[in-house]
Amino acid sequence: MTELRLESVSKRYGANEDGTAALESVDLRVRDGEFFTLVGPSGCGKTTTLRTIAGFEEPTTGTVSFDGEPASGTKPENRDVGVVFQNYALFSHMTVAENIGYGLQFLESEGDPSSDRRIAELLELVDLEGMGDREPDQLSGGQQQRVALARALAPEPSVLLLDEPMSALDARLRESLRRQLKRIQERLEITTVYVTHDQEEALAVSDRVAVMNDGAVEQVGPPETVYRDPASRFVAEFVGDNNVFEARVLESSAEETRVEIGDRTFRVPALEGERNLERSGERGLERSGERGLKQSGKRGPEQSGDRGRPSVADRMTICIRPEHLSRTASTNRFPVTVETSEFLGPTVRVHGRWNGIPVVLALEEVPTEELTVGFAPEDARLVERSP
């Protein structure tokens, strides 16, 4: 197994340092045997990060290292990584077995029986026994994806890199294959970096998640932490549905904070003694299990630390997940005008408004045109704060 590190990695395209920035001071540590996912919108830098790890791109500044050894100048074929591309990149003129065994020809002598054994093992691993003689165009999309995975694993790399390998598949097949991928990764205990724009996918398969935006890392942590305690407004709005409210502090004590949102007063947890942010770099990695209200602003180390108790009239942004808004809550109640509703099976996603503010609810039944909801103070999360 291998530990992977990116330290102050930046990537700029152009003739000088003022060129277009694809990555900006990215610090990451992927632990031995970890399933680590980079998630973010298109153009956020996640694929560039993956390509930099693989050696297809050289960082403008910063270093990539494997088990403490810098990889600068090391060619992709010498980095001991396996890569699964978005389009699978299978060789159409080769059989499934030949595709899987392609990388082995550089490791074993021609005709070595160990190559045949390895191919057979991998066909079994990805549930494609008996399909070694087929051509790629005789396979379904999901089967082709598994051939690409087996080919990447054939040389027994120390690190597996996957660049949105399921984006072309339908939702049901993606769900099935991601479970299979996680099972294979755990069985092999291989250090894995996975790129996706699908937040649900990232939360489902990962040991830890790095949320990226505009070439930088917004937050690193276990899926539960990223979902429940977003470290910035971007994370709050990108990862799942969320309700984001602009608030003004009315009163602050060691027990709770009272804020004004719209024309109403709400109670939220005390904000004194805020915990350090989970951001990029070791600071975020080592505190990824902590829970607590977060503050945000400019990226960087200056964000971490305790800013003390907020003052009256301070402005802040608070988020509340749809599932935490309830019609039976006894506190922090406010009316919602229903605009649309979507039946999703177990729940109904409701879009409405209160004082012109968009509100999203997760209810068990289709509501009427007007309803009143509330939330428990401890379910509020602070994602931005500006005195």
CB 24 within 8 A of CB 215: yes
Calculate ∠ Cα 21-24-27, nearest 5°. 150
Same structural domain, 80 and 185: yes
198, 245: one domain: no
Structural domain ending residue among the three candidates 202, 222, 242: 222
Last residue of a domain, one of 200, 222, 244: 222
Asked whether residue 140 falls in the same domain as residue 89, the answer is yes
Question: What is the extent of the structural domain holding 118?
Answer: 4-222
For 249-261, write each residue's pLDDT tens digit. Answer: 999 888 889 999 9
- Over residues 97-149, the pLDDT tens digits come to 999 998 887 665 455 657 899 999 999 999 999 999 999 999 999 999 999 99
Domains of the chain: total: 2
280/374 same-domain check: yes
Give SS3 for 117: helix
From 187, 222, 257, the end of a domain falls on 222
Q: Please report, for the domain that includes residue 57, its CATH number.
A: 3.40.50.300
pLDDT band of 307, cuts 50, 70, 90 = low
Mean pLDDT value across the chain: 86
> What radius of gyration do the chain's Cα atoms show?
24
Note the pLDDT tens digit of each residue in 153-179. 999 999 999 999 888 788 888 888 999
Q: Using one digit for the tens of pLDDT, what is the confidence trace for 28-79?
A: 999 999 999 999 999 999 999 999 999 999 999 999 999 999 998 899 989 9
Buried b (16+ CB within 10 A) or exposed e, 48-73: bbbbbbbbebebbebebbbeeeebee
**Does 352 or 310 have the greater pLDDT score?**
352
Whether 208 and 299 share a structural domain:
no
pLDDT beyond 80 at 16: no
- pLDDT at residue 45, as a whole number: 96
In angstroms, the CA 287 to CA 276 distance is 8
CATH number at residue 366: 2.40.50.100
Domain shared by 278 and 189, yes or no: no
120 and 177 part of one domain: yes
- Residue scoring higher pLDDT (279 or 75): 75
Residues 6+ apart with CB under 8 A from 301: 281, 283
Q: Are residues 243 and 150 in the same domain?
A: no
Distances (CA, A) of 292 to 35, 209, 230, 289, 321: 25, 18, 10, 10, 15
242 shares a domain with 197 = no
Mark whether 159 and 64 lie in a shared domain.
Answer: yes
Element (H, E) at 83: strand 81-84
Same domain, yes or no: 174 and 278: no
Is 45 found in the same domain as 113? Answer: yes
pTM, two decimal places: 0.86
The residue ranking higher by pLDDT, 273 or 99, is 99
